Structure 1
Amino acid sequence: MIKVLLAEDVQMVRGALVALLNLEPDIDVVASVAKGDEILPAVVANKPDVAVLDIDLPGMDGLSAATAIHDTAPATRTLILTSLGRPGTLRRALNARVNGFILKDAPIGELAAAIRGVSVGRRVIDSQLALSAWDTDDCVLTPRELEVLRLASDGADATEIATTLFLSVGTVRNYLTAATAKLDARNRVDAVRIARKSGWF
């Protein structure tokens, strides 16, 4: 039996996936959690073969959880199950060393097959998304520009961002201006939209 942990914050989706996966003859969902910060304790307690993780989770996002799993419980493989089918998101997932990446609108049979593939050491990635990621340019922003823009996307103003990152307000404004220019955006809001659409945060 392949022991699976499932992390999904929407209760109805989580319940449906657990029920459907448990119908598979060789898959046993040994734990299901709704928050990202519940993932690692559940992995340690249940020792699943595969952790199926949504990206957008409260507490800790699925990609950060995947990195923590690889560092703490390397025997558990990670499979991202998400509706965020963007090339940039896939690139971030690969940087987090996930073993698989599949979209939520895939049939349950594809998810079960992906779990089986990941459990035996194969890397399983949605083929169309892999092709589009191959053709997409890397993020043009520096890590600091991206971090400043991400904080701005959460509603923080320049002063709050400066306090959070221990920078001067002028430096924060320079980073935001540079990010906007590099993305050929009309303004900061447009830069945030472009970065989100590209899956950079």
Structure 2
Amino acid sequence: MIRVLVADDQTIIAEALGALLRTEPDLEVVGLATSAPESVRQAAEAAPDVVLMDVQMPGAPDCRDGFEATAAIVATRPQTKVIVLTTFGRPGYLRRAMEAGAVGFMVKDASADRLVDAVRRAYAGFRVVDPDLAAASLSIGPSPLTRRETEVLAAAAGGGSTAAVAAATFLSEGTVRNHLSTAIGKLGAGSRAEAVRIATDNGWL
């Protein structure tokens, strides 16, 4: 039996994926996690062979999203294979997933047969990545932003004031302005909003 953990913050999706996988005679669902830290905890406790990991989930300072949860799981359980499963097929997301240690990357509109096949292939030691998305990921390259610039730009994505971004990131307003200015320049954007759009479209936020 292939032991599978499903991690998705939308309970209905997690339960639907679990129900789908349970129809397969060789797959056993050993847990459903709804946050990034919970997925790490359940992976440690349930010892799954494969994890289906959502990207955008509630997190904590030490495990903020599906990418960081993937890295944590792979670091403590290298024998566990992680497939990142997301709504957004962004090239930057693929690169971040691979850098975190995932062996697969799929979008949620994939067919049930493809998803089940991906679980089996990952368990067997193969990578499961769409070739067109892989080519796009290579073409755009890695994010030019530092971790702090990414955090500040993400905090600014909601359109809040510099003071609000500073409060959210525990930085001074001057430091926030400097990081935003640098990020805008690196992305070749004309404004904060355009920088957010470029970074989001490429999967860097």
Cα distance in structure 2, aligned partners of 1:75 and 1:196:
32
1:51 match: secondary structure: strand
Q: Give the match's secondary structure for 1:184.
A: coil
- Distance change in 2, residues 1:54/1:165 (3 Å): closer
Structure 1 segment 16-35 matched on structure 2, within 5 A: 16-35=16-35
2:29 is paired with a residue whose SS is strand
Match for residue 112 of structure 1? 116
Structure 2: which amino acid aligns with 1:33?
A
C-alpha contact 2:51 2:82 (8 A) present in aligned 1: yes
Distance 1:173-1:101 versus aligned 2 partners, 3 A rule: same
Distance 2:118 2:82 in 1: 11
CA apart distance, 1:127: 2.0
Match of 2:40 in 1: 40
How far apart are residue 80 of structure 1 and its match?
0.6
Unaligned runs of 5+ in 1: none
Answer whether contact 1:6 1:29 (CA < 8 A) is retained.
yes
The question of 1:12 aligning with 2:12 is answered yes
Q: Which amino acid aligns with 1:5?
A: L
- 1:115 CA displacement: 0.8
User: Which residue number corresponds to residue 68 of structure 2?
Assistant: 64
In structure 1, distance between residues paired with 2:12 and 2:35: 14
Q: Who is 1:188 aligned against?
A: 192
| Deviation of 1:181 (Å) | 2.5
Q: Aligned pair count?
A: 201
Gap runs ≥5 in structure 2:
none
CA-CA distance at 1:110 after TM superposition:
0.8
Match of 2:85 in 1: 81
Q: Any idea what SS the aligned residue of 2:42 has?
A: helix
Equivalent residue letter for 2:5: L
Partner of 2:154: 150
TM-score using structure 1 length: 0.90
Deviates most, 134-143 or 16-25: 134-143
Secondary structure of 2:28's counterpart equals: strand
1:116-135 residue pairs with structure 2 within 5 A? 116-135=120-139
Question: For residues 160 and 26 of structure 1, what CA distance do their matches in structure 2 show?
Answer: 50
Aligned 8 A contact 1:5 1:30 in 2? yes
SS of 1:16's equivalent in the other structure is helix
Secondary structure of the residue aligned to 2:51 is strand
Displacement of 1:163 in angstroms is 5.7
TM-aligned CA distance change 1:159 to 1:135, over 3 Å? same
Contact 2:70 2:100 in 1 (8 A): yes
Take 1:167 and 1:56, find their aligned partners in 2: how far apart are those partners? 24
Cα-to-partner distance string for 1:51-105 (whole Å, 9 max, x where unaligned)? 1111111224111111110122222111111111000111111111111111111
TM-score using structure 2 length: 0.88
